[in-house]
Structure 1
Amino acid sequence: MKLFFSPALLAGLLVATGAVAQTAAPAKVADTSKGKALVDAKGMTLYTFDRDAAGKSNCNGQCAQNWPPLTAASGAAASGDWSVVTRDDGAKQWAYKGKPLYLWTKDSKPGDATGDGVNNIWHVAQP
């Protein structure tokens, strides 16, 4: 006896059993002191750096200590507007619409956006 499963039924079984990998966005949209912005899982504001090239982080060394990159796991995969860039040290970093994302060490609580406009080259990441 041969069993036949329709594609829809098979997909439903895979989802129900958790056999399909779920890819969640690495950030979400939230209200900050500067309006709507991308934030990390802890609600901390994310920023972009004008000196980055498309798909390339140029914030290393002391810069990366003040502006920690939004790190991605080694197996993280691009999805939609989200991509993963490889930093100079080999670490992986999330990017949104090709722009690498960073946190700012002087933001102390969710919703802070004190890094916006620093040296006229740092900006709140806009959704």
Structure 2
Amino acid sequence: MLCAASAYAESPPMMTGGMLVDSGGMTLYTFDKDAVDSGKSQCNGPCAKLWPPALATAEAKQAGNFTVIKRDDGASQWAFKGKPVYTYADDKKAGDMSGDNFKGVWHVIK
């Protein structure tokens, strides 16, 4: 089950201020354990509570570097250049990027 902080967006994320953000302006991250083009997220369960996936609506379509993958729970998630993208639960407002380099495996997409 995904946390309530997860937001659904039909349009893909966008670059703002030199980093990738969701439609609400929240910073997006990649996870080193996610393999490029695997079509699979390695962040599920408790991980997805701290790192909510950037969810896409069922109608969302591929656009440029953005694709949509299916999560283990069946939800759709945005991927950038083949890697699933996430927000960070401790980021409280647009532009926060407190999860950058968290445990050396989470990175802001610049």
With normalisation by structure 2, the TM-score equals 0.85
Letter in 2 for 1:50: D
How many residues matched?
A: 99
Pair 1:76 & 2:94 matched: no
2:106 equivalent to 1:122? yes
- For 2:67, give the aligned amino acid: S
- Match of 2:5? none
> Is it true that 1:110 corresponds to 2:82 in the alignment?
no
d(CA) in 2 for partners of 1:61, 1:68: 10
Which residue number in structure 1 is paired with residue 6 of structure 2?
none
Runs of 4+ in 1 over 4 A off after TM superposition: none
Q: Which has the higher contact order (CA 8 A, sep 6+)?
A: 2
1:40 & 1:122 partners in 2: Cα distance?
Answer: 16
CA separation in 1, counterparts of 2:60 and 2:12?
A: 10
Q: Secondary structure at the match of 1:95?
A: strand
**Within 2, Cα distance between the matches of 1:63 and 1:120?**
15
- Return the TM-score normalized by structure 1: 0.74
Q: Deviations over 1:30-88 (max 9, x none)?
A: 22xxxx21001111100000001223210000000000000011121112211000011
Structure 2: 5+ residue stretches without partners: 1-9
